[in-house]
Amino acid sequence: MRIDLTGRVALVTGSSAGIGRAIATSLARAGANIVVNGRDEGRVTAVAQELGGLGIAADVATAEGAERLVAELPRVDILVNNTGAFPARPVFEIDDAEWRELFEINVLSGIRLTRHYAQEMAARGWGRVVFISSEAGVQPPTNMVHYGTTKTAQLAVARGYAQALAGTGVTVNSVLAGPTLSDGVLAMWDDIYPGLSREEQEGRFIEDGRVAGSLIGRLIRPEEVAHLVTYLASDYSSATTGRALGVDGGLVPTILP
């Protein structure tokens, strides 16, 4: 199987680092005209230059940022809603403001862009929308209940858009990523396991965290998430829509997502 995305414009939000960067790299290698997005203009520009694509610095967690991005990028064939945050916090310490902020980042960012770009994809008769969700959306972590809730919401949003776009040639799917060795995870480890080396942090995370139930016994690598996204962005996935597909190492103990 050779995936060829030549001529397709692919926007990956939150792609200046971590999983988003791996996805942008994979799509670019498949021939897509990649658009890198993030909040830090310097990082966005550097990654875009590295991948031979376009960089647009905009905070899509805000309505103003999403509007600015759309104004600069009128057409998208492949939209990967990857922007997200995953803070750890005891559930009784999460106030209203933090709940709202996480919904803006993890849920509304993807809604804003899908609402705009998917209609234009449908008018052209082809398009791909992928929401980067998480296995936390089907088994919320106790110390990240607000995060898990937003990921559950993403699954409903993606399914709803898939139903609304039925028969248009546009597919909408979610990817249930497991704990992944990304920049964000490394930053979280520094918060919950301060003073430990990276090897010690990973060991503690595997012992104490949600990787304990993984069938592969390790964290997912960003490129492994990117491989699934690249497939979903291709013509090969034309009969797959409205689904949540796992790349979690078998962490979720079920035969269905």
Same domain for 238 and 214: no
Q: Judge whether 163 lies within some domain.
A: yes
Same domain for 153 and 240: yes
pLDDT, tens digit, 9 for 90 and up, residues 177-190: 998 988 878 887 89
Q: Judge whether 256 lies within some domain.
A: no
Same domain for 226 and 108: yes
pLDDT, tens digit, 9 for 90 and up, residues 24-69: 999 999 999 999 999 999 999 999 999 999 999 999 999 999 999 9
Contacts of residue 228, defined as CB under 8 A and 6 or more positions apart, other chains included, come to 175, 245, 247
- Beta-ladder partners of 129: 79, 172
- Beta-ladder partners of 11: 35, 79
How far is Cα of residue 157 from the mean position of the Cα atoms in its chain?
Answer: 14
Query: Residue 257: pLDDT band by 50, 70, 90 thresholds?
Result: low
Same domain for 226 and 142: yes
Structural domains of the chain, count: 2
Options 147, 161, 193, 231, the catalytic residue: 147
Q: Judge whether 165 lies within some domain.
A: yes
Q: Lowest-pLDDT range, 6-10, 22-26, 86-90, 168-172?
A: 86-90
DSSP 3-state of 109: helix
pLDDT at 1: 85
Residues of the chain with pLDDT > 70: what percent? 99
Active site residue 117: no
Neighbouring C-beta atoms of residue 136, cutoff 10 Å: 25
The domain of 75 spans: 9-180+222-245
